[in-house]
Amino acid sequence: MAAATLKNIQKCPTSYVLAIQDTLNAFQGKWKMPIIGTLLFGKKRFKEIEREIPKITPRMLSQELKDLEMNGIISRTVYATSPVTVEYELTKSGKQLSKVVEAMLEWGLQHRRANMLELLPILQTKTA
Amino acid sequence: MAAATLKNIQKCPTSYVLAIQDTLNAFQGKWKMPIIGTLLFGKKRFKEIEREIPKITPRMLSQELKDLEMNGIISRTVYATSPVTVEYELTKSGKQLSKVVEAMLEWGLQHRRANMLELLPILQTKTA
DNA sequence: TATAGCAGTATACTTTAGTATACTGCTATC
DNA sequence: GATAGCAGTATACTAAAGTATACTGCTATA
């Protein structure tokens, strides 16, 4: 099961396309990646997340947290304190997203290296 | 260089965040994944891509192809036939996106399996 | 000579995503 | 008794993304 499922896509196109769609959905919009990213470092409360993600509004954060919860990526735990304490945490499945993020990081880094090498001659004629 | 760059993110947060952002950008919007997906099977002409992606309009296809070209993910080759023949192909870097798609596929499949197991008891009480 | 296919572009529009601002009830601290 | 923090919600708005429809010049085929 480990590798090269992609080349078998013609065997089962529909469910493969749906699976990829699901992953894309997990990161959709401006705020889901930062939220997942910050929760990869451990469970956090609403205000903590809000503080760690610059410029996010409580409306957006609330909306995205609900969305991620509905999709089984995070779980929400309410503690019966007063006022209530609420903690958000990645589910088992949510934590597995680190593998996808890892692949994204790897690609992004190599892509930047590749593009830099391509731009280098241009930069040299500019400074020469 | 192979693995576990994520846990070193605190060493170099900015460039890591930018790298992940780049990858996210590569797939941004409704149409980039289908376009990249179809080009992973080989170079194609404009109308071919249009035919293979249901409901895409030429305006959207044109816009997204330009975007992907500017980002160094695909290359555009014009042949001096009349009328012109144009071929789109993934760049070396673009082809590497298959690794990311692979990771997305893998996560999506496992996530669906996990969620199905979770929903199974509910389905059973419904049908019982 | 009319029609269809290629590789798109132009204009106008609708839909969705995201922002701004103000507000809720609750309680601990100043 | 006023203020601040928690965990959000409500209303109104702007900006971005995507759609619909029609059109271009070119040429091979019917």
Q: Which one is the CATH code of B11-95: 3.30.70.20, 3.30.70.60, 3.30.300.160, 1.10.10.10?
A: 1.10.10.10
Tell me, what's the pLDDT at B116? 83
Does residue B124 register a pLDDT over 80? no
- Give burial (CB, 10 Å; 0-12/13-18/19+) of B86: middle
Does residue B1 register a pLDDT over 50? no
Contact at CB, B5 and A33, closer than 8 angstroms: no
Q: From A73, which residue of chain B is nearest by alpha-carbon distance?
A: B111
Which whole number is the average pLDDT over A78-99? 96
Does residue A47 register a pLDDT over 60? yes
Taking the Cβ of residue B62 and every Cβ of chain A, the question of whether any pair is shorter than 8 Å is answered with no
Instruction: Give the ipTM of the model, two decimals please.
Output: 0.89
Which whole number is the average pLDDT over B57-78? 98
Token code pair at residue A16: 């493969």
Does residue A49 register a pLDDT over 70? yes
Best probe of the B interface among A11, A100, A117, A118, by most B CBs < 10 A, is A100
Chain A residues inside the 8 Å CB shell of B19: 104-105, 107-109, 111-112
Over the stretch B71-98, which tens digit does the pLDDT of each residue have? 999 999 999 998 899 999 999 999 999 9
Give the residue carrying structure tokens 């008891």: B121
Q: How far is CA B44 from the centre of its chain?
A: 16
Tell me, what's the pLDDT at B12? 72
Which whole number is the average pLDDT over B41-62? 98
Q: What phi and psi values does residue B117 have, to the nearest 5 degrees?
A: -60, -35
Tell me, what's the pLDDT at B3? 46
Of B residues 75-94, those with CB within 7 angstroms of nucleic strand C are 76, 83-86
Domain A13-95 has CATH 3.90.470.20: no
Does residue B4 register a pLDDT over 60? no
How does residue B127 score in pLDDT terms, banded at 50, 70 and 90? very low
Chain B residues inside the 8 Å CB shell of A101: 6, 20
B95, B40 in Cβ contact below 8 A?
Answer: yes
